[in-house]
Amino acid sequence: MASNFGRILSSKRNMGILSLVGAGSLTAGFLLTRDQHVNAGAQVRRKYPPSAEYPDLRKHNNCMASNLTPAIYAKLCDKATPNGFMLDQAIQTGVDNPGHPFIKTVGMVAGDEESYEVFADIFNPVIKERHNGYDPTNMKHPTDLDASKIKSGQFDERYVLSSRVRTGRSIRGLSLPPACTRAERREVERVVIDALAGLKGDLAGKYYSLTQMTEEEQQQLINDHFLFDKPVSPLLTCAGMARDWPDARGIWHNNNKTFLVWVNEEDHTRVISMEKGGNMKRVFERFCKGLQEVERLIKEKGWEFMWNERLGYILTCPSNLGTGLRAGVHVKLPLLSKDPRFSKILENLRLQKRGTGGVDTAAVGSIFDISNLDRLGQSEVQLVQTVVDGVNYLIECEKRLEKGQDIKIPAPISQFK
Amino acid sequence: MPFGNTHNLLKMNYSAEQEYPDLTKHNNHMAKVLTPEMYAALRDKQTPSGFTLDDVIQTGVDNPGHPFIMTVGCVAGDEETYDVFKDLLDPVIEDRHGGYKPTDKHKTDLNPENLQVYPHSTLKPTLFITGGDDLDPNYVLSSRVRTGRSIRGFCLPPHCSRGERRAIENLSIESLNVLDGEFKGKYYALKNMTEEEQQQLIDDHFLFDKPVSPLLLASGMARDWPDARGIWHNDDKTFLVWVNEEDHLRVISMQKGGNMREVFTRFCTGLTKIEALFKERGHEFMWNEHLGYVLTCPSNLGTGLRGGVHVKLPNVSKHEKFGEILKRLRLQKRGTGGVDTAAVGGVFDISNADRLGFSEVELVQMVVDGVKLLIEMEKRLEAGESIDDLMPDQK
């Protein structure tokens, strides 16, 4: 090993030629001059064969590490998207964050829309694993934002304290947060707030740029569960999403504080509809109306959202592809949450629980955040209906337990409808 | 790497003004120097290995700094960075290193024999009669000298690929394993170390931490941690080499007590041996006569040397002129946990403030002379006497 390196190192560094040392290098075959380097958008630094660059994933437990074989790495490591995004950047977060024995993170991100195509050989198996078998090569993702289809969307407010639906949207033609330049990020901000300024009626609102917000405004928004934090999670920082913080980041919300848009956090936009109480149907109606209005407004200016029929809405993290939708409630389940069957019931209903601070937090006072597990392979309407039906079932269980009656684990509902 | 390079050309679709970072709330050397005009002139450049301006400055953009502490705010990704981006880095270097000009030449002196036996001219000769081997052990708890070295031809930690980093590790292990005598030792790869070994090394002040400082993280130095990182030390635990932390190599000589001469002698001997071993394998250290030894952070150019002691100064440290005394002696204080920590029990880490424009011998001499004076002051204050007549001139 050392002597191979010796040979590589003693040869003069030549920026025009990709290293051909070692058998099996798939970069062999063509010479890149500096001009070609410039046009192809690809780096020409690599001095070592893919086998010398392949990350050490032996202690890792994330979807990228489970699927990135040396062969796939070798095939993709010198490819670049038209914007110049490369595999090492996509997987850096998964290399730097081995994961947890119990929690399986995704371990890779997209830098632009084309990442999902150029690096399909690794994204597809990761998507399939994360989305419980959804196969992007032969399945289509349905999109449905017709909120009138939701049935029984009003929860018992003795149990449900608040209802919320969120998703993300990316602006086609601009790089995603791991890769965007400052100018691109500022352009995203400009395009989005320009569109939001066109919203009217109950959606009319105002933008608060993070660079100009006062500390009091900021703390109030955090306390209201409205604002995103400056990223501290290494999952995000290692992916490069926090660069240049807080430049071009901000939050827009309507005057009623029931419809919010985060700009340039983990995605170009995160769109949130929320209210106190249990009227999930109304929350979802506002959600759909707001999204459709914003889409109309950006289209007027010649922009559109990233979307395709294979993957639905394109977002930074593969876990948010498809609908990118998390619909959930804060619900009091003091008895049910202590029942040993609680996890199984959630699993069969295709729901997940989180604490009231969101992901990675603990439940306080038996109040849980209950939301849909799935994102891809079912439409928005289907997922929200799943949450409605599921939460109604959980409340039923809680009521039965209050009366000393027994509860049943429901049959597992099917995943891809 | 980390993120600016591959789409350097994409940026050219936008004007320099649109890309220029917002530095209005920033207080670091980079932010003081990088005007919009300079940004426009440099933004389409890159080093042969592809390191760009935005790569250089990312850490400074992401870390605005502190009203009182002036960080550097930029890093090098390879040796050529200091040349390709000289329009930015020369003024940063000048500001950080006390007026060091682009035309100045840096002298290297690693001959421990040159550490003076005679008293320094600014101090009273009757008090100081030896050269660094007898710092009072009632006050000086330990002595240490460190520097860094980069291997020419490889990219630096913000920019290196995994393959390069591993090659640096392999080269280092190969060379260090040849050392014998007082330098005979062993390498511990971070990946293979047990948690107990690791904690022991940290407690002994030997090991580097997994980086948590946003200054380091934002520059990309912590990528792929702990791959190809490790520590080598001799059996006596008096000579250590850190591999692939903030620089390719950090070389440290240390021991309990106040015999700085011995520490520095071992330091110079060890470094010289290591350099020879690398040369045998066809590699040299990055060095030029203007910048001296080339390291990742511009603050460590020149000698990259920090020579210091842990010393008990409970009285003099409370004196109103303590800061001024240190400044005149060209010394700096830190807590006993190193940079950004607090002093515990009146024990301070006192070291040279300079890195560039003085030789290694000169810097260690300043530490020896300065610490002797501080101890003298401490003794006077203990006895309730004045120290006014001991106030040094500005060096």
- Cα–Cα dist A252/A381, whole Å: 25
Q: Give A167's strand partners.
A: A271
Whether the CB-CB separation of B108 and B357 falls below 8 Å is answered with no
Report the gap between the CA of A344 and the closest CA in chain B (Å): 36
User: In this predicted complex, what is the ipTM?
Assistant: 0.87
Q: Which of B259, B253, B238 is nearest to B135 (CA)?
A: B259
Do A122 and A234 share a domain, yes or no?
no
Quick check: A35 pLDDT over 50? no
Decide if A12 is inside a domain: no
- Give how far Cα A161 sits from Cα of A34, A365, B109, Å: 61, 12, 72
Do A206 and A238 share a domain, yes or no?
yes
Quick check: A127 pLDDT over 90? yes
Decide if A312 is inside a domain: yes
Element of type H or E holding A248: none
Decide if A361 is inside a domain: yes
Q: Regarding the domain with residue range B112-383, which homologous superfamily does it belong to in the CATH classification?
A: Glutamine synthetase/guanido kinase, catalytic domain (3.30.590.10)
Report the gap between the CA of A246 and the closest CA in chain B (Å): 9
Q: What confidence tier does A413 reach under pLDDT thresholds 50, 70, 90? A: very high
Ordered per-residue pLDDT tens for chain B, 395 residues: 444 445 677 888 999 999 999 999 999 999 999 999 999 999 999 999 999 999 999 999 999 987 677 999 999 999 999 999 999 999 999 999 989 999 998 888 888 877 764 443 333 333 333 466 778 889 999 999 999 999 999 999 999 999 999 999 999 999 999 999 999 999 999 998 888 888 888 887 787 777 888 899 999 999 999 999 999 999 999 999 999 999 999 999 999 999 999 999 999 999 999 999 999 999 999 999 999 999 999 999 999 999 999 999 999 999 999 999 999 999 999 887 666 666 678 899 999 999 999 999 999 999 999 999 999 999 999 999 999 999 999 98
Do A155 and A81 share a domain, yes or no?
no
Quick check: A10 pLDDT over 80? no
Decide if A3 is inside a domain: no
Do A102 and A163 share a domain, yes or no?
no
- Residue A136, both tokens: 């992007």
Question: What local confidence, expressed as pLDDT, does residue B302 receive?
Answer: 94
Size (chain B), residues: 395
Residue B191 to residue A10, Cβ atoms within 8 A: no
Decide if A28 is inside a domain: no
- Cα–Cα dist A87/A194, whole Å: 33
Question: What local confidence, expressed as pLDDT, does residue A37 receive?
Answer: 32
Write B279-286 long-range contacts (CB < 8 A, 24+). Answer: B280/B175, B281/A6, B281/B171, B281/B174, B281/B175, B282/A6, B282/A9, B282/A10, B283/A9, B283/B151, B283/B152, B283/B153, B283/B171, B284/B151, B284/B152, B285/B149, B285/B150, B285/B151, B285/B152, B286/B79, B286/B149, B286/B150, B286/B151, B286/B152
CATH code, A211: 3.30.590.10
Do A158 and A77 share a domain, yes or no?
no
Do A181 and A245 share a domain, yes or no?
yes
Q: What confidence tier does A210 reach under pLDDT thresholds 50, 70, 90? A: very high
In this complex, is the C-beta atom of B225 within 8 Å of any C-beta atom belonging to chain A?
Answer: yes
In this complex, is the C-beta atom of B152 within 8 Å of any C-beta atom belonging to chain A?
Answer: no
From A53, A96, A187, residue closest to B163, measured CB to CB: A53
From A76, A101, A131, give the residue that closes a domain.
Answer: A131
Q: Per the structure, how many domains does chain A have?
A: 2
Quick check: A14 pLDDT over 60? no
Residue A182 to residue B222, Cβ atoms within 8 A: no
CATH code, A74: 1.10.135.10
Residue B171 to residue A5, Cβ atoms within 8 A: yes
Residue A5 to residue B167, Cβ atoms within 8 A: yes
Do A236 and A155 share a domain, yes or no?
yes
Residues A33-42, mean pLDDT to the nearest whole number: 34
Q: What is the residue type of B49? A: S
Question: Cβ contacts (< 8 Å) between B161 and chain A: which residues?
Answer: 45-48, 53, 88
From A131, A159, A176, give the residue that closes a domain.
Answer: A131
Quick check: A311 pLDDT over 80? yes
- Cα–Cα dist B268/B196, whole Å: 31
Residues 46-75 of B with CB under 8 A from A: 48-50, 54, 58, 61-62
- Cα–Cα dist A283/A272, whole Å: 9
Quick check: A25 pLDDT over 90? no
Cis amide prior to A136 (ω within 30 degrees): no
Residues A10-35, mean pLDDT to the nearest whole number: 32
Residues 91-110 of B with CB under 8 A from A: none
- Is B364 annotated in some ligand binding site? no
What is the pairing mode between strands A307-308 and A312-313? antiparallel
Residue A183 to residue B19, Cβ atoms within 8 A: yes
Do A62 and A203 share a domain, yes or no?
no
Residue B223 to residue A95, Cβ atoms within 8 A: yes
Decide if A306 is inside a domain: yes
Q: Regarding the domain with residue range B5-97, which homologous superfamily does it belong to in the CATH classification?
A: ATP:guanido phosphotransferase, N-terminal domain (1.10.135.10)
Do A325 and A361 share a domain, yes or no?
yes
Q: Poorest-confidence range of A220-224, A374-378, B114-118, B207-211?
A: B114-118
Quick check: A110 pLDDT over 80? yes
Whether the CB-CB separation of B232 and B243 falls below 8 Å is answered with yes
Neighbours of B341 (CB within 10 A): 11
Do A154 and A229 share a domain, yes or no?
yes
Please state, for a pLDDT cut of 70, what percent of chain A lies above it.
87
Whether the CB-CB separation of A369 and A355 falls below 8 Å is answered with yes
Residue of A nearest to B55 (CA): A243
In this complex, is the C-beta atom of B191 within 8 Å of any C-beta atom belonging to chain A?
Answer: yes
| Residue whose entry in the numeric block shows the structure tokens 């998703």 | A167
- Is A163 annotated in some ligand binding site? yes
- For chain B, give every domain's residue range: 5-97, 112-383
Q: Which of A122, A66, A60, A59 is nearest to A89 (CA)?
A: A122
DSSP A316: S
Residue A2 to residue B170, Cβ atoms within 8 A: yes
Domain of residue A253 covers 147-403
- Residue B238, both tokens: 């008096």
Decide if A58 is inside a domain: yes
Do A229 and A363 share a domain, yes or no?
yes
Scanning B281-391, the segments in alpha helix (DSSP H) are 322-329, 360-382
Do A205 and A60 share a domain, yes or no?
no
Residues A393-417, mean pLDDT to the nearest whole number: 93
Residue B62 to residue A242, Cβ atoms within 8 A: yes
| Residue whose entry in the numeric block shows the structure tokens 């069957």 | A341
Q: What φ, ψ does residue A416 adopt, rounded to 5°?
A: -105, 115
From A102, A131, A160, give the residue that closes a domain.
Answer: A131
Mutation site for B-interface testing, chosen from A8, A9, A236 by largest number of B Cβ within 10 Å? A9
- Cα–Cα dist B299/B89, whole Å: 11
Residue A6 to residue B282, Cβ atoms within 8 A: yes
